[in-house]
């Protein structure tokens, strides 16, 4: 959970000019913050002084002073990022995060839509990006490829009772059109109840 919070906080302290973590942050009257160098370079190349984010124009060039509080917060965030929590590294039997580079962190969830497994930090976009919010997340699974349709590379979500097989939605519309089908979870529950 701490990694997810760190990821979110680091994104909040990003300069909209260089798209990197703020360095020597300065804040304008409109409330937006930028790297001192980025803002100075931006204004040196322009006829007018305006906020690169909201385009608020200043009649005279404002004096830029470093935001010391923001600078301290960013320093602390960077220290936290440099000391990774070793307890979250994937060990034998754990599912590794597919997005991590170098030492892999333990996956918290697997996405059947992507299909990939993610640690808490790399999972965060699934909660923030609208297009990813409807992805199907499950407990970490090291065998995601077995849960994909070989033909369409989509997750197996339907059980075709006619052919007694798991299929994806594309198969349900094409090869299995007109067959008796149920959701995979429904079939699983029925088999558990009947003891098969």
Q: What does 80-146 look like in DSSP terms, one character per residue? A: HHHS--GGGB--TTSPBPSS--SSPBBPSEEETTTTEEE-HHHHTHHHH-GGGTTS-EES--TTGGG
pLDDT in tens, 66-84: 888 888 888 887 776 655 4
- Residue range 162-191, pLDDT digits in tens: 999 999 889 989 999 899 999 988 888 888
* Residue 157: strand, helix, or coil: coil
Dist. CA 140–CA 154, nearest whole Å = 18
Per-residue model confidence (pLDDT) at position 122: 92
Query: pLDDT value at position 7?
Result: 55
User: In this structure, what is the dihedral angle of CA atoms 40, 41, 44, 46, given to the nearest 10 degrees?
Assistant: -110
**What pTM does this model have?**
0.45
Mean pLDDT of 89-118: 88
Cα(145)–Cα(16) distance, integer angstroms: 38
CB count in 10 Å sphere of residue 132: 15
Domains of the chain: residue spans and CATH: 10-84 (3.30.40.10), 94-147 (no CATH), 158-194 (3.30.160.60)
With cut-offs at 50, 70 and 90, classify the pLDDT of residue 101.
Answer: confident
E strand or H helix at 44: helix 36-44
């Amino acid at each position: 959970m701490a990694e997810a919070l760190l990821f979110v906080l680091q994104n909040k302290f990003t300069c909209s000019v260089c798209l990197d973590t703020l360095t020597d942050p300065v804040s304008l009257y409109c409330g937006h913050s930028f790297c001192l160098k980025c803002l100075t370079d931006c204004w040196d190349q322009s006829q007018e002084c305006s906020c690169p984010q909201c385009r608020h124009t200043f009649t005279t060039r404002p004096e830029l002073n470093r935001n010391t509080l923001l600078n301290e917060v960013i320093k602390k965030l960077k220290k936290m990022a440099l000391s990774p929590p070793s307890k979250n590294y994937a060990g034998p039997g754990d599912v590794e995060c597919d997005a991590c580079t170098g030492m892999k962190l333990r996956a918290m969830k697997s996405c059947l839509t992507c299909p990939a497994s993610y640690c808490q930090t790399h999972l965060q976009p699934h909660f923030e990006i609208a297009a990813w919010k409807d992805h199907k997340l499950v407990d970490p699974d090291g065998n995601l490829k077995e849960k994909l349709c070989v033909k369409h590379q989509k997750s197996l979500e339907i059980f075709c009772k006619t052919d007694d097989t798991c299929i994806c939605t594309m198969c349900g519309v094409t090869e299995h059109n007109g067959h008796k089908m149920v959701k995979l979870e429904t079939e699983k529950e029925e088999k558990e109840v009947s003891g098969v």
